[in-house]
Amino acid sequence: MALQAGAETLACDLITAPGCGAVSTLFLHGAGQSTRQRQWPLRETLAQHGHASAAIDFSGHGDSSALLPNSLAKRLDEAQAALDRLCDDGAARTVVGVSMSGEIAMRLACRPGNRIGHVVTIVGAVYDGAAFALPFGPDFSAALRRPGSWRDAESLRMIRQYPGRITLVRALEDKVIPAEVADLIRENAHAASACRIVDLPGIDHRVSERSAQDEHLRRSLAELIAG
């Protein structure tokens, strides 16, 4: 499948199974060399729990186009296009943000019109508000290098008004995302109906890769997402 988002053409897919209802869960992959394929085994397991899901390759990743410079703001626009096009609007939705897309998932959930009832971050990041609109490159990297810059994330202020459920999956051996990120999100989730941190001992930042090989972990993550 293909999805038009601004100037970009995004590769996307749906995973369902007998007994699944309409698609109500959207997966958003991380940065680097990530694509939607990294979450495929987890999404197949989620479908076995009765939850169909959608996923995209952000522009510049996988099978999507890369016509314009990328930024967090552009990723949010692409995630919004995917939610609008691929996910059913008749029921509460779930958005799952992995690594860099933790920020995107939170911002998406904080738009009331999106009717997202559950936001899940897996080793999720938040970013300095000053970096949000910057194209990925030297200026973006410089903003991130400011010590503790993530403590100034606008998404932390936004999440204070979010009324749904929040699940924050944290890997205890993660050397990429500080453990305090999940704590700060929970501290700011004043209006959430529930907010939980789930710690994964003995696992580093590569949760998606680990879950693809570890059936017990994969089923545990699917159950957390299914809620």
Six-digit token pair at 193? 């109906």
Q: Is the dihedral of CA 155, 158, 160, 165 positive or negative?
A: negative
SS3 98: strand
Query: pLDDT tens digit string along 34-59?
Result: 999 999 999 999 999 999 999 999 99
pLDDT of residue 206: 97
pLDDT category at 90 given cuts 50, 70, 90 is confident
User: To the nearest whole number, what is the mean pLDDT of the chain?
Assistant: 95
Q: What is the mean predicted confidence (pLDDT) over 134-152?
A: 90
Q: Is pLDDT of 146 > 90?
A: no
pLDDT of residue 212: 95
Helices (H), the chain: 40-48, 72-86, 101-109, 138-145, 154-158, 180-188, 207-213, 215-226
Q: What percent of the chain has pLDDT over 70?
A: 100
CA atoms in the 13 A half-sphere facing the CB of 22: 11
Q: 65 and 125 in contact (C-beta within 8 Å)?
A: no
pTM: 0.97
pLDDT of residue 124: 98
Q: What is the mean predicted confidence (pLDDT) over 183-192?
A: 97
